[in-house]
Copies of this chain bind each other. A is one copy, B any other.
Amino acid sequence: MTKTKRDSYHHGDLRSALISAAEEIIAAEGVEGFTLRKAARKAGVSPGAPTHHFGSMAGLLTQVARRSYEALGKQLAGAAEGLEGNAALRALTAVYVRFARDYTGRFRLMGRTDLIELEDDDLRAAVYRAMRPLAAAAAGTRGLGVPTPEFERLDPRLIAAIAPAHGLAHLATEGRLAATMRSGEVDAQAQDALVDEVLRALWP
């Protein structure tokens, strides 16, 4: 589809072309449908080419994961505006779950510790930045400082805010939140309603 054409021996911007190709494959076929060679073919390049830019498949997927965390962070930041306390926590969690449902491929990749380089500094920073709105909400609600970037020694109350979101998101992607229609598709509205009920039980 987005097969980047080649007129010259050199590609020009292969690095970002491969990232885009990977994102498209993951969006269309999921993480399990992704192969490095597919991405190379989509970019119109030989199987060995990606190695020069990313070192390994995990290197490429780490970039995709980083960008995905940035996207999630943006959505979270937007959702928290103008809200405070438990209302903010509910809104943030709802967005977290919607992200997992709407971008299941990306979300699954973010949890695949075998496919990405967790120790990558840029990735860690992106994860930290993405979680900031949740941290802020937890702090606003319960009097708690923003966590250190190392993401270690986290405050239990922040974890208490992240865990339900993470858990709900996983349940959603596994189709365990009811809301599956007869067509097999996910009934987004019904799912949102269910999530809202859960959230009102957790953060009244």
Contact = CB atoms under 8 A, between A and B. Distances in A.
Interface of A: 30-32, 111, 113-114, 118, 142, 151-154, 156-157, 159-160, 162-168, 170-171, 173-178, 180, 194, 197-198, 201-202
A112 B111 CA distance: 10
Majority DSSP secondary structure for residues of A touching B:
helix
A163 B168 contact: yes
Nearest to A111: B170
Nearest to A114: B32
Contact of A152 (B163, B167, B168, B180): B180
A201 B164 contact: no
Given A113-B174, A170-B111, A170-B170, A198 B163 contact: yes
A180 to B, nearest CB: 7
A176 B156 CA distance: 12
A152 B194 CA distance: 12
A166 B100 CA distance: 15
